[in-house]
Amino acid sequence: MKRLGAAFAAAAAGLTLGACEVSIDAEDEAPAAPTVAEAETWMTEAEAAYLDAAIYKERVDWVNRNFITVDTDWLGAKAASEYTALRVRLANEAKRFAGLELPPELARKITLLKTGLTLPAPETAGAAEELNNLATALQSAYGKGKGLYKGTVTPGVDLEALMGTERDPDALLEMWTSWRQVAPPMKPQFERLVEIANAGAGELGYADLGQMWRSNYDMDPDEFAALTDKLWGQVKPLYDELHCHVRAKLGDYYGARLVPQDGPIPAHLLGNMWAQQWGNIYDLVAPEEADPGYDVTELLVAAGYDARKMAKTGEEFFSSLGFAPLPETFWERSLFTKPADREVVCHASAWDIDYVDDIRIKMCTKVNADDFQTMHHELGHNYYQRAYNTQSPLHREGANDGFHEAIGDMIALSITPDYLVKIGLLSEDQVPPASADLGLLMSQALDKIAFLPFGLLVDKWRWQVFSGETTPETYNQDWWNLRTHYQGITPPVARMEGDFDPGAKFHIPANVPYARYFLAHILQFQFHQAACEMAGWEGPLHRCSIYGNAEVGARFNAMMELGMSEPWPDALEAFTGTREMDGSAIIAYFQPLIDYLQEQNQGRQCGW
């Protein structure tokens, strides 16, 4: 899952002023009766200061993520603390205009000033600096983390890949447990970070940081939580069928002693370091006689693809929809492969350095099917960033953070056999027959459907932490309670509270809100269904590719150009014709697989 380039979604809690500090003079005392005109003037100055800070901080972040040293950590923390102090001050200054009947656009911007902060610091002297020192230290600890593979110290990014190919349960257990040793030192830092950020959220008028995060969706925070539960309820029956089938197949492979058939699945056996996506165990659970007849990784290697060629192919997809080519600076300034001479944060991310057209990706690309899809996803962020670059600064973001993630994933749904033929990776005679669709759908479901409960529970855990329902003494226990309840998985060995397993997932130490990924997995299918209807597609939804359809591209761009200038239901309606997020497109997409799974699961004891 991927980082937004936009400032206030950044893992280190936003952007900064740094060496080019800009200030907004505030009155010693708030005017007795502020006017709308004063509010408009103030917002113009505030946005100018914000944009200057954003550009500076994005550049500092880029250097820090690409050259992890003590010095760049210091620079990153200083930049972030200065930015946080600015954003908090602006949000507090905006309180002067509470009670005024403001124009809708201005009122929206004032709200965004508050909710756009990921980690707000209180105005207490030194709080912003301490908060961002903690945030930088947490992220750097994760980025430098290593584990063991058959006794050999191995970087985290390589362990992630090995978790998808290794089948020896002992080797999997070694990697799983050793990687989680990166997290225990983070626990006291995380605890203190929560304390400071909650205080900052309180000063802005929120009960806690979780309520503040949930307020960033153009609806009441409790209504947003209820919406996520509703969406989960729509897709949970499909997940339950998938879980039952996967557990049975893993039991056949590993034996019922290792995989009991009446309980949760051991987390280390699902082909992913966090058991969040299961596509790497496709070979163990695939339907019989459903081999698609090709392997995308093998096709890429045989065709001589490297990281840059994968990026060029992604660019060509967007060009086929009518989008302008990426700027030359994208190719000059992006990081496509892991450097051999320094530590970098390898988690794939898209960047918007100047909020106009200096867009980049940072990715330790491997030539395989997963990274081919990831490349399309990250470029989706970049094209979205460029589409809204003429909006005012506070509106240069996705309609909500789920939109940003969904757009890239929607494009990846068009990586169908038809698309592979059109770009020359697959020949016509290699296109699988309809009888092989079960295999393609199973492969998709192991990633897309298996992810849904994980995408939901990460922030449910943090919401509990922020509210105080989950305490430091129960961090790990409550983490695994949620993972078992929603995912039906269990740790392979006993976990102690000091283990702090949440910290072994990038988005926790990086302080990136996670509900966006759950929403993205709903929205991408809703977008895909709408796009295919626009294109006049009449076949099965999972076989549709919008590659080459300029009409869809124009409608797509019209939605993206709105940025965050309108509430997300308006943006959704602009592209799909509806104002409601809906999980029914997922059911339509996977209906043939649902029928298959229900048949296979007859006589099995499902559930956990």
**Are 482 and 501 contacting, i.e. CB atoms less than 8 angstroms apart?**
no
Phi, psi of 187 (to 5 degrees): -55, -50
CA distance 288 to 156: 34
DSSP helix/strand/coil, 335:
strand
Residue positions annotated with a catalytic role: 347-348, 377-378, 381, 405, 507, 517
**Would you tell me the crossing angle of helices 127-143 and 70-93 to the nearest 10 degrees?**
140
CA distance 285 to 291: 12
Comparing CA positions, the residue from 140, 150, 133 lying closest to residue 182 is: 140
Phi, psi of 504 (to 5 degrees): -85, 0
CA distance 603 to 608: 15
Per-residue H/E/C for 64-87: HHHCCCHHHHHHHHHHHHHHHHHH
CA distance 399 to 397: 7
DSSP conformation class of 390:
T
CA distance 234 to 22: 48
**Are 483 and 461 contacting, i.e. CB atoms less than 8 angstroms apart?**
no
- b/e burial code for range 73-104 (CB count within 10 A of at least 16 → b): bebbbbbbbbbbbbbbbbbbbbebbeebebee
Comparing CA positions, the residue from 155, 144, 154 lying closest to residue 73 is: 144
DSSP helix/strand/coil, 148:
strand
State both tokens at 477: 């226990």
**Are 296 and 425 contacting, i.e. CB atoms less than 8 angstroms apart?**
yes
**Are 365 and 336 contacting, i.e. CB atoms less than 8 angstroms apart?**
yes
Count of CB atoms situated within 10 Å of the CB of 569: 16
**Are 400 and 382 contacting, i.e. CB atoms less than 8 angstroms apart?**
no
Helix (H) or strand (E) holding 52: helix 36-66
CA distance 467 to 471: 9
Provide the phi-psi class of 145: left if phi over 0, else alpha when psi is between -120 and 50, else beta. Answer: beta
DSSP conformation class of 20:
G
